Every structure is written in C-alpha cells, then in structure tokens.
A and B are shown apart, each in its own frame.
Chain A
C-alpha cells in the first residue's frame, strides 16, 4: 500500500532554533496536512495544503506542498518549549478515496529551554 516516509523520527533542539521536517512518498498526493499531537491528547490540524507548490504559514509554522506532489515539509521558526509534541504529516493520494488519509509515523520534537 501507499506509504508516507516522515523524517526525522525525533529531534532534540535548543529553544530558539528553527526546525524542519518532511514527508515523502513514491506516489502523487492531492492533499497534504500537518498535525501536532500534545502528550495525552488527540492530534490537532496545523496546516492544510491543497495545491502543488502551495506555501502556507500559521504563525511560526510554514508548510509547503511539493511541486512534484510527492513531498511536503514543515518548518517551525524560533522554537519554544510548547512546540514539544509529535508532528504528523498526512496526505490523500491521487485516486484515493476522498476523506481517507494516509499518515506518516510522526516526528517527535523535544525542545530544551
């Protein structure tokens, strides 16, 4: 089946540093979404991308839908302690059932004050 390769698996950074994570696939995707999960909570949608090349920001977060439609990245600028959590990419593959997303395995972010 189709899979998303999300990297890195985990990151340990200093407060104030920028963060970058990405998802790639061998298949074309029509939609890319980025979620954040705080410990003990359900994932919350951060950014949704619907067009190839689309670049969208949400505060200190920026995500892009890759031109090839096979990848997406999420950047976090000037990280703060509350950025800690697990970040998931998700996408709907071309030709996939509408509404059925494929999720990456997550990037666990730790921020040292």
Chain B
C-alpha cells in the first residue's frame, strides 16, 4: 500500500537556526511531491513541488528551500529560520490527480 511519512511531528527552533524536515513516500514510483505551509489552521500555501529527482519548482519566494535527492524523498530546509517561518508544514504526493498528505510538522520558531 502507498504511505507517506513526515517527521518530526513537532519542532521548536530558535530564530537563526537551520531547519530540515523530511518526507518519504512508500509504495509508489515517480510521484509528484509537494510542500505546503498552513498558518492559523486555515488555507494551504504551496511552497515547492517536484516532478522528479533534482527537479524543484518554487511557488513563493522565501527563506526556505527544497531538495529531492531520491525519487521518494523530499526535504524542506532553511539555513536561518525567521519567526515568520512558524506554521504547520505538510508534505503531499500525487499519482497523478489525488493528493495524499502526510500528518504534518508543527514548527514553532522562538
């Protein structure tokens, strides 16, 4: 069966520290992968998407970057976190139309 793993579930990081969130998918090949951010429990903001290894598209200029070193691995990073980076981060995959979301990472930058 197809599953998506996202970790950690919660993270508290100081301003200026680096960030690495990881997402892995099982049971599928060559999925489209996505990173979303959700503020205040409302709308989903698309941050990055990837259609293949090493292929990253950025939707919103920001303090974050994404990488896809393997077919089923998607990483969200930052060199120096800002307070405004706090939020709920969701990874998702699609093959091809229906998105399946991970359980999310609650990031609090203090």
* Residues in chain A within 8 A of chain B (CB atoms): 31, 33, 35, 39-45, 48, 50, 86, 88, 90, 92, 98-101, 103-106, 108
Contacts and interface: CB of A to CB of B under 8 A. Distances in A.
B6 to A, nearest CB: 8
Nearest to A44: B101
B96 A40 contact: no
Contacts of A88: 44
12 contacts: A33-B97, A35-B99, A40-B104, A40-B106, A42-B90, A42-B92, A42-B102, A50-B97, A92-B97, A99-B95, A106-B43, A106-B44
A41 B94 CA distance: 18
Interface bin, chain B: 20 to 34
Contacts of A104: 43
Given A40-B104, A41-B104, A86 B42 contact: yes
A42 B49 contact: no
Contacts of A98: 96-97
Contacts of B97: 31, 33, 48, 50, 92, 98-99, 101
Nearest to B49: A100
Contacts of A90: 99
A103 B59 CA distance: 14
B78 interface: no
A44 to B, nearest CB: 7
B27 interface: no
B108 interface: no
Nearest to A98: B96
In the complex, the 10 A-B pairs of residues with the closest C-beta atoms, listed nearest first: A42-B101, A105-B43, A99-B32, A99-B94, A103-B44, A99-B96, A42-B104, A43-B101, A42-B103, A98-B96
